[in-house]
Structure 1
Amino acid sequence: FRLLEYLLGKPGRVFSRAQLLDGVWGQAAEIDERTVDVHVGRLRKALSRGRERDPIRTVRGTGYAFDETFGK
């Protein structure tokens, strides 16, 4: 859940896939950017159980942000 921890560090801030890869997995990691999409999907599934709202916002063409109002 390092991705969740990273997003929660700055709720509301939009991170690109490249920023998330670098911040969570490190620069040395040779991971495809679409890996971020897979992990975000898994987080969404785990966090939205029994809730109507999605805690992770997709910003088209930019990246992802954790909804700072989630859980309030």
Structure 2
Amino acid sequence: MRTVFAGRTGDTALAGAAREAFTSAMSTAFAVSAAGVPAAAVLAFLVLRERRVPAPGPEPAPEGATAQERPATSF
């Protein structure tokens, strides 16, 4: 569309300026994204490394449960 508009006006500098603006904006967006992805990965690592999942173990017996009422453990 920009070449059509530039063709109608006869201004080839307009098409060149539009092309340069588009290329510059895409380059800037790529650079910001390229810097943001590793930063987000480091942030996720720092936030998630403090979380520890407890090792699974036998379930505690309910208060006052007898040996027959306790859950069986299977290995």
Q: TM-score, normalised by structure 1?
A: 0.26
More helix by percentage: 2
Greater RCO between the two (CA within 8 Å, min separation 6)? Answer: 1
The answer to which structure has the higher strand fraction is: 1
Larger Rg computed on CA atoms: 2
TM-score norm. by structure 2 comes to 0.25
